[in-house]
Amino acid sequence: DQQVKQNSPSLSVQEGRISILNCDYTNSMFDYFLWYKKYPAEGPTFLISISSIKDKNEDGRFTVFLNKSAKHLSLHIVPSQPGDSAVYFCAAYTPNTGNQFYFGTGTSLTVIP
Amino acid sequence: NAGVTQTPKFQVLKTGQSMTLQCAQDMNHNSMYWYRQDPGMGLRLIYYSASEGTTDKGEVPNGYNVSRLNKREFSLRLESAAPSQTSVYFCASSEMLGTEAFFGQGTRLTVV
């Protein structure tokens, strides 16, 4: 039973435009969310996080939005660059469910020059 | 600054063979993890170690054992490999449970 879902397996965006990656979750007890970026043949690398007490967190070109009532978070990348082409995973955590992060299935982003 | 180092990077096993995946981190992190990544499944937690001397099952522990050898090292053992264990395995570490993890480069394991 997938508790964290990324319903778009892939996304293509023109360089310079905004990329919006979406993530939905089912467990209302999740209170900490992360985004990871993964290049082929490498491990995931941490990108940005958000706590459930916030609805927005910004780090340079990356902004994560959290809508707790909809159990939805999104990652905005502005402006998108070709080097952003990678697979993006969202992950959610609560200490109340096995002390683990639950990962989505990933969205493959391609930024077209 | 190596971060998290996994060995080997690639491995082919025959059904029934055993092997140990090694992982070491140099960030003085307390918590360590083993994940597997399968197509369409995201990353799933196999086992984790909250701190030196402790290990706990994750979401998919069957067929695996782990050892937290010391604060730096966390190994994953397949006692009798099965084709269903064909996957990419990632080791990760974090300062403590519930904080962002740093991942190794992965081990691509094929069981034939």
Residue-wise pLDDT tens digits, A42-89: 999 999 999 999 999 999 999 999 999 999 999 999 999 999 999 999
Q: Which of A32, A89, A100 shows the shortest C-beta gap to B42?
A: A89
Quote the DSSP letter at residue A68: T
Within 8 A of B103 by CB-CB distance, chain A residues are 36, 43-45
pLDDT tens by residue, B42-91: 899 999 999 999 999 999 999 999 999 899 999 999 999 999 999 999 99
Averaged pLDDT for residues A21-44: 95
**Structure-token match 């449970």, residue found:** B97
Q: Which of A56-60, A92-96, A109-113, B15-19 has the lowest mean pLDDT?
A: A92-96
Region A19-46 average pLDDT: 95
The answer to whether B93 and B102 are in contact (CB under 8 A) is: yes
B101 near A CB under 8 A: yes
Q: Which residues, numbered 25 to 84 in chain B, qualify as contacts with chain A under a Cβ-Cβ cut-off of 8 Å? A: 33, 35, 40-45, 48, 50, 56, 58-59
What CA–CA distance (Å, rounded) separates B104 from A27?
28
Residue type, position A32, single letter: Y
Distance from CA of B89 to the nearest CA of A (A): 10
A vs B: CB pairs below 8 A:
56
Is residue A32 predicted with pLDDT exceeding 80?
A: yes
- In this prediction, residue B1 has a pLDDT band, given cuts at 50, 70 and 90, of low
Q: Which residue has the tokens 């200490």?
A: A95
Low-confidence winner among B38-42, B73-77, B92-96 (lowest mean pLDDT): B38-42
At residue A19, what are phi and psi to the nearest 5 degrees? -105, 135
- Give the nearest partner residue to B100 out of A4, A34, A106, using CB atoms: A34
Nearest CB among B97, B98, B103 relative to A43 is that of: B103
Instruction: Give the tokens for residue A34.
Output: 């992360």
Nearest CA of chain A to the CA of B10: how many Å? 11
Does the distance separating the beta carbons of A42 and B43 come in below 8 Å?
no
- Whether the pLDDT of residue A99 is over 80: the answer is no
> Can you give the pLDDT at residue A111?
98
